[in-house]
């Protein structure tokens, strides 16, 4: 028996993994949701900041527009009193605005609050195109960023068409771009923020350099121009990603942009995930290690059990050391069971061996006895044969000398002497018959013992042929059942068997009736049963056994001729063919002799 080492460890690992899998899946799902939510939150924060900056820009613009409106409704301006207006324009310059200028439709600046009155101001302090647009639109416009003519610093202007002494002119208030810097300067890295003019130029920016690459900047300008408001993920110069929200003010046409790098949004969540992953690993790994250790222990236990059961089958169980108890209670229970089984088997083995030894010794004894028996049987047969054979010689001598005696001296014998001689002759003849019978008896199973298939009908016919005279003389009616089987046996012996039985049926017939003899048969499991019945004088039950003994007779010689060996010979023949013989009889009514023969009897 082989245990697959990895099997149980693998199963346990899978079990641990399966136990943790739902948690892992849930954690991943939670992380994904949290990440999405964090990104959404980041977007709304970026957008809120953008909106805030746009609002701040708008309120700056509103303040500027208020100043411009106040200046434009100044009576001295309307009247064309430049000196007075210059004076008033100077009053607001540096505080709310950085410059106030009055420009003719041809773009020539005729008044600048930063240039003393009487001095010619720079010809084009405000972009001519913006002036032209304000005049043609007839409403206030905000210019793009330009370089201040006197300050040489980035500046922009809000321009409003006015009428000065009935002439159309443009009144412009300018503000340094730097004034917008505080709106974005409150930003802390990694936040970025910028305010862009209508031409997408930086008005203010934090940090001073944008981290967007050139194509992304162009893309952003296009987005602001087209969408007005929205957000986008754009590329940075260092290959990163920037989450950018943009918004363009409807009033000024300026835009605000703020952004956060993707890493700043995702990093905290990634750190969180990493933390959870490490935590999960700390939880799972000991579980797996524990499972592996338990698995090893389990495998060792199972191996031990396998070794034990293997040895139980191969070795003597009583020599087995008890099973080592290694792993869990169930295995201990199995181990206990195995120990018990081993002990039981050992006990049974011992018992069986004892029985086997006993059986062997008995078999030896029986073998020895049967050998002794066979030897003594053979010896006995030899003795009977030799005795009967050798006894006939002196008998013949007695008979011949008595005959000579009678022949030579018969005339001189008186009547008694003749009677005595007659007794001697008779005795010698009887003894010769008995010795002859004994010889026949001892020959059964010894001479011509070769068995062959014998058709019993033939043997019955032969027996009847030998008895033909007696049959005719007694007027017997003999019936033979049809289809007598063919048996394996010694033909001569079987003829003798039927001849003796039928002969007895004729001999012991009833004085008042002619003999009726029946020969029948029936099949048995492994052979046949034959019966020879008659309507003769019958036998008393107490003699049922005795009639089969050698030289046992129930009648006197004078009444019925015989030596009493016929049925003994029958018994010996039947037994020699593996069968048995018995008699059923009712005195004065008749007898039935039954005998069995075995199918394929070995005999010998």
Site for ligand ADP contains 504 (CB under 6 A)? yes
Rounded least distance, CB 466 to ligand ADP, Å: 15
Rounded least distance, CB 534 to ligand ADP, Å: 5
Applying CB under 6 A, which of residues 72, 436, 563, 598 lies at the interface with ligand ADP?
563
Rounded least distance, CB 504 to ligand ADP, Å: 3
Complex with ligand ADP: residue 127 or 536, whichever CB lies closer = 536
Query: Which residues is 228 bridged to in the sheet?
Result: none
**Segment near ligand ADP (CB under 6 A), from 302-310, 333-341, 460-468, 548-556?**
548-556
- Token pair 């002497």 is found at 417
373 prior amide bond cis, ω within 30: no
Query: Which residues is 195 bridged to in the sheet?
Result: 204, 256
Applying CB under 6 A, which of residues 197, 202, 247, 534 lies at the interface with ligand ADP?
534
Site for ligand ADP contains 505 (CB under 6 A)? yes
Complex with ligand ADP: residue 125 or 504, whichever CB lies closer = 504
Rounded least distance, CB 539 to ligand ADP, Å: 5
Q: What is the DSSP string of 275-339?
A: HHHHHHHHHHHHHHHHHHHHHHHHHHHHHHHHHHHHHHHHS-GGGPPPPP--S-HHHHHHHHHHH
Site for ligand ADP contains 515 (CB under 6 A)? no
Site for ligand ADP contains 564 (CB under 6 A)? yes
- The distance of Cα 547 from the centroid of its chain, to the nearest Å, equals 76
CA distance 346 to 318: 5
CA distance 54 to 168: 32
Complex with ligand ADP: residue 514 or 524, whichever CB lies closer = 514
- The distance of Cα 52 from the centroid of its chain, to the nearest Å, equals 68
Site for ligand ADP in 580-599 (CB under 6 A): 591
Applying CB under 6 A, which of residues 8, 487, 497, 567 lies at the interface with ligand ADP?
567
**91's torsion region: left (phi>0), alpha (psi -120 to 50) or beta?**
alpha
Complex with ligand ADP: residue 230 or 562, whichever CB lies closer = 562
Check if the beta carbon of residue 441 is closer than 8 Å to that of residue 569.
Answer: yes
**Segment near ligand ADP (CB under 6 A), from 42-50, 60-68, 209-217, 563-571?**
563-571
Complex with ligand ADP: residue 169 or 565, whichever CB lies closer = 565
**β-pairing, 486-489 with 452-455?**
antiparallel
Close Cβ partners of 570 (under 8 Å, ≥ 6 residues apart): 497, 500, 501, 548, 581, 593, 595
CA distance 207 to 189: 8
Complex with ligand ADP: residue 247 or 534, whichever CB lies closer = 534
**Segment near ligand ADP (CB under 6 A), from 270-278, 380-388, 504-512, 515-523?**
504-512
User: Count of residues binding ligand ADP (CB under 6 A)?
Assistant: 20
Site for ligand ADP contains 547 (CB under 6 A)? yes
The contact set with ligand ADP (CB under 6 A) reads 504-505, 508, 534, 536-539, 547, 553-555, 562-568, 591
């Amino acid at each position: 028996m082989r245990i697959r080492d990895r099997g149980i460890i693998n199963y346990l690992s899978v079990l641990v993994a399966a136990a943790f899998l739902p948690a892992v899946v849930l954690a991943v799902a939670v992380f994904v949701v949290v990440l999405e939510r964090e990104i959404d939150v980041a977007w709304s924060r970026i957008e809120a900041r953008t909106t805030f900056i746009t609002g701040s820009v708008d309120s700056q613009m509103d303040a500027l527009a208020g100043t411009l409106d106040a200046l434009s409704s100044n009576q001295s301006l309307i009247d064309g009193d430049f000196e007075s207006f210059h004076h008033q324009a100077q009053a607001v310059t540096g505080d709310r605005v950085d410059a106030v200028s009055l420009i003719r439709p041809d773009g020539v600046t005729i008044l600048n609050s930063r240039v003393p009155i009487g001095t010619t101001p720079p010809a084009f302090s405000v972009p001519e195109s913006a002036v032209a647009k304000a005049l043609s639109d007839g409403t206030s416009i905000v210019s793009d960023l330009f370089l201040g003519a006197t300050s040489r610093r980035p500046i922009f202007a809000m321009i409003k068409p006015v009428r000065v002494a009935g002439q159309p002119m443009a009144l412009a208030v300018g503000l340094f771009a730097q004034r917008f810097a505080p709106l974005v300067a409150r930003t802390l890295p990694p936040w970025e923020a910028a305010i862009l003019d209508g031409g997408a130029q930086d008005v203010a920016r934090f940090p001073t350099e944008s981290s967007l690459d050139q194509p992304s900047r162009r893309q952003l300008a296009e987005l602001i121009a087209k969408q007005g408001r929205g957000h986008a993920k754009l590329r940075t110069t260092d290959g990163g990603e920037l989450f950018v929200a943009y918004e363009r003010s409807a009033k000024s046409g300026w835009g605000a942009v703020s952004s956060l790098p993707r890493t700043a949004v995702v990093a905290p969540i990634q750190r969180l995930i990493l933390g959870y992953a490490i935590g999960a690993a700390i939880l799972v790994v000991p579980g797996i290690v524990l499972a592996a250790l338990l698995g090893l222990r389990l495998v060792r236990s199972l191996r031990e059990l396998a070794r034990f059961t293997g040895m139980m089958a191969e070795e003597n169980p009583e020599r087995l050391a008890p099973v080592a108890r290694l792993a869990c209670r169930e295995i201990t229970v199995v181990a206990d069971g195995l120990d018990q089984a081993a002990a039981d088997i050992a006990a049974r083995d011992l018992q069986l061996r004892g029985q086997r030894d006993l059986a062997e010794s008995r078999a030896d004894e029986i073998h020895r006895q049967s050998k002794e028996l066979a030897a003594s049987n053979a010896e006995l047969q030899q003795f009977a044969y030799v005795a009967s054979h050798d006894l006939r010689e002196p008998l013949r001598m007695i008979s011949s000398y008595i005959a000579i005696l009678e022949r030579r001296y018969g005339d001189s014998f008186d009547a008694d002497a003749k009677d005595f001689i007659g007794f001697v002759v008779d005795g010698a003849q009887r003894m010769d018959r008995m010795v002859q019978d004994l010889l026949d008896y001892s020959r059964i199973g010894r001479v011509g013992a070769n068995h062959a298939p014998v058709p019993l009908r033939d043997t019955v016919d032969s027996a009847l042929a030998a008895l033909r005279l007696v049959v005719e003389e007694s007027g017997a009616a003999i019936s033979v059942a049809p289809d007598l089987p063919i048996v394996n046996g010694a033909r001569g012996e079987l003829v003798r068997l039927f001849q003796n039985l039928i002969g007895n049926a004729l001999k012991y017939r009833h004085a008042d009736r002619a003999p009726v003899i029946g020969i029948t048969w029936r099949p048995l499991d492994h052979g046949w049963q034959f019966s020879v019945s008659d309507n003769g004088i019958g036998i008393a039950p107490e003699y049922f056994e005795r009639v089969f003994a050698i030289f046992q007779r129930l009648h006197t010689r004078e009444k019925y001729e015989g030596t009493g060996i016929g049925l003994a010979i029958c018994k010996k023949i039947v037994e020699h063919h593996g069968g048995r013989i018995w008699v059923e009889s009712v005195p004065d009514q008749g007898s039935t002799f039954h005998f069995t023969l075995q199918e394929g009897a070995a005999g010998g």
